[in-house]
Amino acid sequence: MPDPAVPPTPPVLLTSLLAREDLSLRRIAGPVDADAVVHWVHTSEMADPYPYLLGGELLLTAGVHIPEAAGSGTYFDDYVSRIVAAGGAALGFGVAPVHDTVPRALVAACETHGLPLLEVPPQTTFSGVARAVWQLMAQARLAELRRVTEAQQSLASAASRPDPVPSVLRQLAQRLGGWAVLYGPEGAEIAGAGRRPGEEVASALAGLAGVVRPTDGGSGGPPHPTSATDTVSGTHLAAYALGAGHGFVLGVATPQRAPGDHTVVSVAAVLLSLLTGEQQSGTGAARSSALVRLLLGAPPEEVAQLLGGERWVVVRARPDGAGAPDAVAASALGAALGSALVDPAGDVVRVLVPGDRTPDPLPGWTLGVSAAVAPHDWPAADTQAARALARARATRTPLLRHGPRPAFADLVPPDEAAAHARALLAPVTAHPALTETLRTWLSLHGSWDRTAVALSVHRNTVRQRITRCATLLGTDLEDPDVRMELWFALRHI
């Protein structure tokens, strides 16, 4: 885990700060370390800045605190040693207005204690140095976010290949510049990718995997960590437990640890958890078998037996934000609903959920849920879920369920009701857009704005379509009796 004293912003290389021509900083003492970083900037004129430092700072001073006889005693040695003891990353000394040059005793003390000393010229303000550090941090964070986003996309694409597990490991190893390995429940290496490290490092990683692997020893012992890290022979090691008790572990070994690596590995761990979970439970093979049988003409009732359920619920979901959900988001949605039967299609995700599970609202999603139906009614349930989702979005409700209940319309024989509906709605049923607009408009009590939201069209388009429906039907849609009759008719087509 990172040191809690270290800020969440990415550090800045000291060499990058020295390379800024607008600052004209010059290193005049201390080691030349290409990996030296600065976490933040602090200005202080205290003779002993130790109590005010957290570590990792570029400490800026104009030397106001330096007494006149400082060069002949141990003042500078004590001053620099306290900065080093506090974990300061470097010292910046501003030339002018107090001192014309950097005191030679300060240069010597920084050399002795190994603290980088930077000369800040008169034209460079301390606030300008601080601003440059924040700018470099922002650039580093943007680069980190871009790297993580690209890695997420490539890992999701790899998971969709015919050989998903090896593909995800190869992509992960390439992104980290190291070795990625999947260990099975018994500790054996199932698959690996990247450059395999030496035996010492490989053995250490296998041992680290054992730390996070759950055992069957019962619930009396302490809980196992879900992840663990270590460093062996300069190689950074990390192990992540996959799934809930399956025993699979993801291990990575990298020569260096870059910002964003943990996020990238976490995405890979989620994907591998889904893939290994299917392999462990056998649902992956069952799904493949069900798909093949459907393609070869088997009835849904037969296919449903392979999936382990007699009644099913169709859930349609749309993310609350802009843009279509990616494969990772769709898989996570399915996992939250308790089903691996997920179909991401554009901006809507469809999930087939066993009927004994009751979907609950999920943060960030709007859900439409069908009634629990037998397999031969899956298409009708999909329609129910679509209408429930449209109504949920229009009313800004996180989740709406289709809930059929006895009504007066059920007293009419279905055949007679269907015949009457076809005759009544014949003028508009030839135009699917008009039919769906009329259905949605009636379901939302004649609200133009909500209907526009549900259909993803402009409210003027809704008005034009409803006016067209009224003309074709030759009726007054402001009459509640007319609306009621049309609503009953729409239920039977």
Task: Give me the percent of the chain exceeding a pLDDT of 90.
Answer: 38
- The per-residue DSSP string of 206-271 comes to HHHHHHHS--SS-SSSPPPPSEEEEEETTEEEEEEE-TTTS--EEEEEESS--TTHHHHHHHHHHH
Distance between CA atoms of 243 and 276, rounded to whole angstroms? Answer: 8
Helix, strand, coil percent values for the chain (each to nearest 5) = 45, 15, 35
- What is the tens place of the pLDDT at every residue in 407-423? 555 556 677 878 888 88
- What is the tens place of the pLDDT at every residue in 227-274? 888 999 889 999 998 865 567 889 999 998 877 788 888 888 888 887
Higher per-residue pLDDT: 205 or 258: 205
The answer on pLDDT for 279 being more than 80 is: no
Residue the block writes with tokens 């296919």: 303
pLDDT (mean) for 321-342: 72
The answer on pLDDT for 1 being more than 50 is: no
The answer on pLDDT for 217 being more than 80 is: no
> Which stretch of 135-149, 216-230, 450-464 has the lowest confidence by average pLDDT?
216-230
pLDDT (mean) for 307-335: 76
Tokens of 123: 């034209």
The gap between the terminal CA atoms of the chain, to the nearest Å, is 60
Return the H-helix or E-strand segment holding 107.
helix 104-113
Q: Which residues pair with 318 in a beta bridge?
A: 366
Longest dimension (CA), the chain: 110
Distance between CA atoms of 224 and 221, rounded to whole angstroms? Answer: 9
pLDDT (mean) for 54-58: 92
37-51, 343-357, 391-405 — most confident range? 37-51
Distance between CA atoms of 115 and 31, rounded to whole angstroms? Answer: 7
Where does the pLDDT of residue 339 fall: very low under 50, low under 70, confident under 90, or very high at 90 and above?
A: confident
pLDDT (mean) for 29-52: 92
pLDDT at 79: 96
103-112, 276-285, 437-446 — most confident range? 103-112
pLDDT at 87: 93
Backbone angles phi, psi at 429, to 5 degrees: -65, -15
